[in-house]
Amino acid sequence: MICQLIHDLKEQAEMTVTRACALAGIPRASFYRISRGYQHYQPVADPVAHRQRRQPAALTDAEKEQVIDALCDPTMADRSVVQTYWSSVDAGRVSCSPSSFYRLARAENLVGDRRRGRHCGTSAARAKPAAAAGAPGDLWTWDITLLPGPRRSFFRLYLAIDVYSRYPVAWRIEPDETATKATEMFVDAFHRHGTPALLHADNGAAMRSNELAAALQAAAVQRSFSRPRVSNDNPFSESLFKTIKYDLDHPARFDSIDHARCWTSEFLHRYATEHHHSALGYYTPEQVFTGTAEQVRAARQQTLDRAATRHPIRYSRPPKAPALPTTTGINLS
C-alpha cells in the first residue's frame, strides 16, 4: 500500500523517490526495504537502545581503567590522544582500537588541551575573581592595549583606573611592554593618589612580573587576576579601552609616539573632567574620585527645585538629582 502510494505520486507529479517519500511521510529506506521484497523484517515492539545493549566485544572495566591510567599518566600529559595511544600500545599497556581509546578519552573529558594542570586533577581550575568597590581607592584595575602607529607599528597604552569613580589614575604610552615601566607607573600613581586596597589585572607578563609584585607588596596592595581567556573578568578596563578607540576624534593611526601621548592626554583629561558617566549618576569621574560629587548633586537639586517652582505644570512630580553611585565591582552577581 505504501509502495503503491509512492509510485502514484511519482507518476502523477514526475517527482523523485526522495520527494515522494517526504510527501508520504515515510523514510526512504522503508520504501526501498518494502518495495524490494524484504518482508521478513518485523519491527520490535519494545526496542532496546543501541547504547544499552550488551556488546560481546566491549572493553571490560579493567581494560577501561588501563586506558584511563594511560591517558592520565604524567609522562603523557603533553601528548595528544593519538600519540598517547601509540605510546601505550608500544609499551603494552592497552589492547584496544584507536577509536575505542579516543571514545574513552572523550567520555572522560581528556581530549583537547591535555597539558598538566588542565585535566587529570593535577590542579584546580582558577576561581572566578570577585572584588567590590564602595568608595574611591577600594579597587583599581589596569591593562595594556595596542594603539596603531605609523607603518603597521603599534604603541602600548598602559592604563589604570579607579573602579568606583572610573577615574584614570595612571597611564603611559610606550613602544614596548615591560615590567619596569609598569612598576614605575604605579609607584608614581601611589605618590599622587595614594594606594588602593586591591589591584586587579589580566595575566600579561608585566602584570605577573616579580618586579611589580615586589612594589605592590611594599605598598601593601593586594593583587587579583582575571581567569585566562576571560575578558569579562576585567570589564572596566576593557570598557574604557573601547571608549577610547571608538571616540570620533581617535586617529586611524598615530603619526608618532608623541602624537599618541598628546592625543591620549587630552582625551583622558576630557573624559575625567567632562564626561557625565551614566553609571555614576551622570557625574564626572573626577567629581566622584575627588569627593565633590555631593556638592554638585546639591547644586543640581537647587537648580531643579527652582525650575519646578517657576514651572510646576511641567513636572508631574518633584524632580530629583541623580543619586551618587553605589557599590560596584567585578563579578559581584
* Domain residue ranges in the chain: 2-41, 65-125, 131-280
Distance from C-alpha of 182 to C-alpha of 170, rounded to nearest angstrom: 10
Q: Which of 160, 249, 155 is nearest to 201 (CA)?
A: 160
CATH topology of domain 131-280: Nucleotidyltransferase; domain 5 (3.30.420)
Q: To the nearest whole number, what is the mean pLDDT of the chain?
A: 88
pLDDT over 90 percentage in the chain: 57
- Which residue has 570620533 as its cell numbers? 248
Please say whether the beta carbons of 83 and 75 come within 8 A: no
pLDDT value at residue 114: 60
Of these ranges, 69-78, 105-114, 179-188, 223-232, the one predicted with the greatest mean pLDDT is 179-188
Give the predicted TM-score (pTM) of the model: 0.64
Please say whether the beta carbons of 26 and 4 come within 8 A: no
41 pLDDT band (50/70/90 cuts)? Answer: low
pLDDT value at residue 118: 46
Please say whether the beta carbons of 25 and 9 come within 8 A: no
Judged against a pLDDT cut of 80, whether residue 43 lies above it is answered with: no
Please say whether the beta carbons of 284 and 274 come within 8 A: yes
Cell of 41: 523484517
Judged against a pLDDT cut of 60, whether residue 196 lies above it is answered with: yes
Higher pLDDT, 7 or 239: 239
As a whole number, mean pLDDT of residues 119-137 equals 76
Judged against a pLDDT cut of 60, whether residue 124 lies above it is answered with: no
First to last CA, the chain: 62
Please say whether the beta carbons of 113 and 76 come within 8 A: no
Higher pLDDT, 315 or 287: 287
As a whole number, mean pLDDT of residues 109-122 equals 60
Distance from C-alpha of 333 to C-alpha of 319, rounded to nearest angstrom: 31
Judged against a pLDDT cut of 70, whether residue 9 lies above it is answered with: no
Judged against a pLDDT cut of 90, whether residue 194 lies above it is answered with: yes
Of these ranges, 24-28, 202-206, 242-246, the one predicted with the greatest mean pLDDT is 242-246
Judged against a pLDDT cut of 80, whether residue 263 lies above it is answered with: yes
Q: Which of 198, 242, 248, 204 is nearest to 223 (CA)?
A: 198
Please say whether the beta carbons of 110 and 120 come within 8 A: yes
- CB-based contacts of 220, cutoff 8 Å, min separation 6: 195
Please say whether the beta carbons of 147 and 157 come within 8 A: yes
231 pLDDT band (50/70/90 cuts)? Answer: confident
Higher pLDDT, 161 or 88: 161
The amino acid occupying position 50 is H
Task: Give the bridge partners for 116, in sequence order.
Answer: 119
Separation in Å, CA 151 to CA 52, 156, 157, 254, 260? 63, 15, 18, 10, 14
Please say whether the beta carbons of 160 and 171 come within 8 A: yes
Separation in Å, CA 199 to CA 8, 79, 140, 178, 225? 77, 37, 5, 18, 9
121 pLDDT band (50/70/90 cuts)? Answer: very low
Length of the chain: 333
Largest CA-CA distance found in the chain, in angstroms, rounded = 95
